[in-house]
């Protein structure tokens, strides 16, 4: 196992990179998608709806295959590395779910907050940036954490577009050594540890945002 562990760790490092960059893209896509859904401008609202429904309503595996195998063909002729496809596919897929979570969180902010902002003559941008989004993000963290963990678990699909992630390394080593229990036991532990890191990080962020909100309210 001392010889197999470094190979599993190499796969785990690929999984960590995909999860990190995919999470960043998912957060940005969720924010843009949520604001698009709430926009009074119809073309922006419809673009956001199309993005959300397409990525929520179709299989992630098909989306990865489409990005990796179909886009390089005419008339698109857009070729990307397997790593970029994994980050973009996972990020946009999870971001579509996150957009609905964030939209619900924004709508959950009490109407009195909007009225107070109007009374202070805040612009729409100031109202969103200073009052609405901080409260909405705090409310969106728990379901958002679940989505980021889901993104981590979905990285196991990227082996089907030739990436040597943790799941790929585990299957490869299992076929070579037949040490199924030991290899997949280690892989399970690694996925669990990575999921707990995401969970603890988001809980820490939630506590800090909550303390900042309390200080802001007291001041």
Looking at residue 217, its pLDDT comes to 47
Q: What is the pLDDT of residue 1?
A: 64
Below-70 pLDDT ranges, the chain: 1, 212-219
- pLDDT for 213 equals 61
pTM score above 0.85: yes
Q: How high is the pLDDT of residue 219?
A: 37
pLDDT at residue 119, rounded to an integer: 77
What does the pLDDT read at residue 177?
86
Evaluated on CA atoms 103, 106, 110, 112, the torsion sign reads negative
Q: Is 178 left (phi over 0), alpha (psi -120 to 50) or beta?
A: left
pLDDT (0 to 100) of residue 3: 74
């Amino acid at each position: 196992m001392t010889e197999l562990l470094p190979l599993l760790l190499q796969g785990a490092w690929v999984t960590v990179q995909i999860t990190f960059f995919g999470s960043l893209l998912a957060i940005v896509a969720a924010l843009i998608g949520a604001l698009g859904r709430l926009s009074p401008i119809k073309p922006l609202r419809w673009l956001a709806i199309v993005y959300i429904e397409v990525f929520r309503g179709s299989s992630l595996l098909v989306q990865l295959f489409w990005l990796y195998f179909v886009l390089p063909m005419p008339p698109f002729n857009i070729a990307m590395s397997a790593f970029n496809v994994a980050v973009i596919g996972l990020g946009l897929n999870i971001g579509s779910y996150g957009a609905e979570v964030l939209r619900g969180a924004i709508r959950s902010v009490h109407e009195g907050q909007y009225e107070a902002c109007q009374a202070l003559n805040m612009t729409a941008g100031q109202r969103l940036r200073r009052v609405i989004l901080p409260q909405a993000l705090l409310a969106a963290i728990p379901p958002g954490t679940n989505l980021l963990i889901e993104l981590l678990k979905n990285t196991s699909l990227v082996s089907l577009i030739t990436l040597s992630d943790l799941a790929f390394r585990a299957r490869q080593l299992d076929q070579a050594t037949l040490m199924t229990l030991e290899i997949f036991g280690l892989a399970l532990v690694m996925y669990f540890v990575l999921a707990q890191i995401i969970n603890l990080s988001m809980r820490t962020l939630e506590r800090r945002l909550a303390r900042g909100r309390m200080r802001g309210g007291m001041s």
